[in-house]
Amino acid sequence: MNRIISFEQYLSEYKKSVDDPEQFWAAQAEGFVWRKKWDKVLEWNFTEPNVKWFIGGKLNITENCLDRHLAERGDQTAILWEPNNPKEEGRKLSYKELHTEACRFANVLKNNGAKKGDRICIYMPMVPELAIALLACARIGAIHSVVFGGFSFQSLSDRIHDADCNIVITADGAFRGAKDIPLKSVVDEALQTCPSVKKVIVLKRTNCEVKMQNERDVWWSDEVKKVSAECPVEEMDSEDMLFILYTSGSTGKPKGVVHTTAGYMVFTKYTFENVFQYHLTHSPSPIGEGSQQPEVYWCTADIGWITGHSYLVYGPLLAGATTLMFEGIPTYPDAGRFWQVIDKYKVNIFYTAPTAIRSLMAAGDNFVKPYKLDSLRVLGTVGEPINEEAWKWYNETIGKKKCPIVDTWWQTETGGIMISPLAGITKTKPGYATLPLPGIQPALLDEKGEELFGNNVEGKLCFKFPWPGIIRTTYKNHKRCFNVYFSQYKGYYFSGDGCKRDEDGYYRITGRVDDVIKVSGHLLGTAEIENAINRHPDIVESAVVGFPHPIKGWGIYAFVIDDHNRKDTDELKKEIIATVTKFMGSIAKPDKIQIVKGLPKTRSGKIMRRILKKISEGDTSNLGDTSTLLDPSVVEEIKQGALS
């Protein structure tokens, strides 16, 4: 383990990583199981872009997540699982058991026709079988594409289609809070337009009724009986694809972010161990002298998002950690659930989203009081800026001022954490992601694309040197990868975020500068939501913008044009919400809908979102220059409508 243990060491490691990045990352890559060691550490340019790490290396990430640990920690718990319903019994899987199950399910995949390079879509609840499914794919070299269970059939079918998946792994249903979500019937609907899918493997979870299609659909429980638990790993090239994960962009079509094997592995393990300062043994022990138990680490993200991939499954398992997986939601059966689970499993490291913190803070301290929370040692946040009030509450009420908070900035495209404190080592400031990790070279650029040097500057957050976890391509569309991330500022990776560097050189993320919104920490494209709204037969056009929301961070404000002049506007709004839920999923439901006669457009037909954004924020005093609009009078009408 190459864990940094002091701030001085951080500074010296950082310097080493910039002076000689190849040597730095090569050192981090030692200690893994390589079937064949790499010939060359790095080859790169940001003009195509083309980035390759550990060239010529051969390995399998699951050998490093599982097999490598068996001798030393085979009986140690790898995954702890807490179900949605607190009355249902939890589950525990040791490294040995997880290895066995992943191997067995890998054989199930092979038995159902899967081979190296195939794309397999995973649409499942947060149960251990979801992690097993990821590992089984990786073991045989199939590329997993996990779709968050909160997306509905259209989003699912778009993603299956784009990746040309031949197998879907799902469950009959999912328990989320008081709801049962019928996953399999969503899959059935999605597959009506996905002829590439030949097999659907269905796990039984909720016991809801499902229609199984002959030849195509099989039960997980039947299939595992047919195979052995011996499955040698497929030898993968360092740059072979490990997974695709779709993320929203400025257009209606989500981007299939591609991560490859070796770089992602090295980066997630390194960042996991260093940011959270994970201890394999408690020494000194925060939960009792001499305890030899590894720390319990809990990341509350769903595996459907990158945080779940990198810091619930891969990073922790690569590090030999005990990772807790939770099926439910923070407010079920009440807003004390997270705290109850922390006490139940004596969680030492807790990693969650600001939106969850804000909603639990709003629920009141009475939900926290019954719990001790004395096992906690480190707290983390991810996914959106955290406001000072929420940070303080997290620090005082949850961490009892004893737990360092790591505010981790990163993205689906970066594969792992980029800017973050190292727990207990980097001095923190509320609202600041603080400093770049070793190996990460941020740059702030001004409007003209000039790099801003020195402190006390604000600009677009870019990176000027590759790191092992960087996006390699967008699936089947390399041009798009170039256009979105590498074309705006030549020679830089552009994140899409605005950022300040303060007088201490600390980084503070100010938010997105493009047409995507972070709603409850979920990245959603405005165009994708508009497409869903426009599926309503009465809506001819719509424009979606984000507005500041006290709990969700950003809420969704939709301006819609109703072609049929419907008088029952409340009914129409309800229908629009139902339409979005049906086609995209309930995570994309608009918070506010305003029916308008027209949208502010330039003569070339482009919607001026700047104006709509101001109106949605209730700031109509100065809308800036509206003279380039085709019809400036629509602005007045929208303003009036927003006020009424």
Q: Which residues sit at the interface with ligand WTA, rule CB under 6 A?
A: 247, 305-307, 382-385, 407-412, 433, 495-497, 509, 512, 518, 523
User: What number of residues does the chain have?
Assistant: 644
Q: Closer to ligand WTA at the Cβ: 84 or 411?
A: 411
- Min dist. Cβ of residue 104 to ligand WTA (A): 31
Tokens 């000027």 — which residue? 464
Nearer to ligand WTA, 95 or 506 (CB): 506
Distance of closest approach, residue 63 Cβ to ligand WTA, in angstroms: 26
Judged by beta carbon, residue 329 or residue 433, the one nearer ligand WTA is 433
The residue among 69 and 518 lying less far from ligand WTA, judged by its C-beta, is 518
C-beta atoms surrounding 178 within 10 Å: 12
3-state secondary structure of 228: coil
Taking the CA atoms of 42, 39, 115 and 138 in sequence, report the sign of the dihedral they define: negative
Contact 384, 376 (CB under 8 A): no
| Comparison of 518 and 536: residue with beta carbon closer to ligand WTA | 518
Q: How far is the CB of 420 from ligand WTA (least distance, A)?
A: 7
CB of 248 to ligand WTA, least distance (A): 9
Closer by beta carbon to ligand WTA, 49 or else 521: 521
Smallest distance, ligand WTA to C-beta of residue 508, A:
8
As a whole number of angstroms, the distance between CA 586 and CA 568 comes to 23
CB nearer to ligand WTA: pick between 121 and 433: 433
Q: How far is the CB of 335 from ligand WTA (least distance, A)?
A: 23
Q: Strands, DSSP E only, in 136-247? A: 143-146, 167-171, 174-176, 179-181, 199-203, 217-219, 236-237, 241-247
Per-residue burial over 244-277, b = 16 or more CB atoms within 10 Å of its CB, e = otherwise? bbbbbbeebbbbbbbbbbbbbbbbbbbbbbbbbb
Q: Find how far residue 563's CA is from the centre of its chain.
A: 37
3-state DSSP helix/strand/coil % of the chain, to nearest 5: 35, 25, 40
Residue 644 CB-density burial (10 A; 0-12 exposed, 13-18 middle, 19+ buried): exposed
Q: Which residue is nearest to ligand WTA (CB)?
A: 412
Q: Would you state the structure tokens that stand for residue 124, as one six-digit string?
A: 């499942």
Shortest distance, CB of residue 307 to ligand WTA, whole angstroms?
5
Using the minimum distance from each CB to ligand WTA, give the nearer residue, 139 or 518. Answer: 518
| C-alpha span between 84 and 176 (Å, rounded) | 6
Contacts of 85 (CB under 8 A, 6+ apart): 175, 328
Residue 601 C-beta: closest distance to ligand WTA, Å = 27
* For ligand WTA, the closer CB: 282 or 518: 518
Residue (of 115, 139, 130) closest to 203 by Cα position: 130
Considering the complex, state which of residue 140 and residue 418 has its C-beta at the smaller distance from ligand WTA.
418
Q: Pick the closest to residue 257 from 235, 239, 242, 272 (CA basis).
A: 242
Of all helices (H) and strands (E), which one includes residue 113? none
d(CA 28, CA 466): 15
Q: CB-wise, 497 or 502, nearer to ligand WTA?
A: 497
Q: How far is the CB of 257 from ligand WTA (least distance, A)?
A: 8
The residue (of 10 and 432) whose beta carbon lies closer to ligand WTA is: 432
* Long-range CB contacts (within 8 A, 24+) of 477-485: 477/255, 477/256, 478/48, 480/255, 481/49, 481/255, 482/48, 482/49, 484/249, 484/250, 484/255, 485/49, 485/413
Alpha helices in 483-624 (DSSP H): 526-533, 569-583, 609-616
Q: In angstroms, what is the minimal distance from the CB of 39 to ligand WTA?
A: 32
CA proximity to 619, closest of 607, 632, 610:
610
Q: How far is the CB of 435 from ligand WTA (least distance, A)?
A: 13
Shortest separation between residue 305's beta carbon and ligand WTA, angstroms = 6
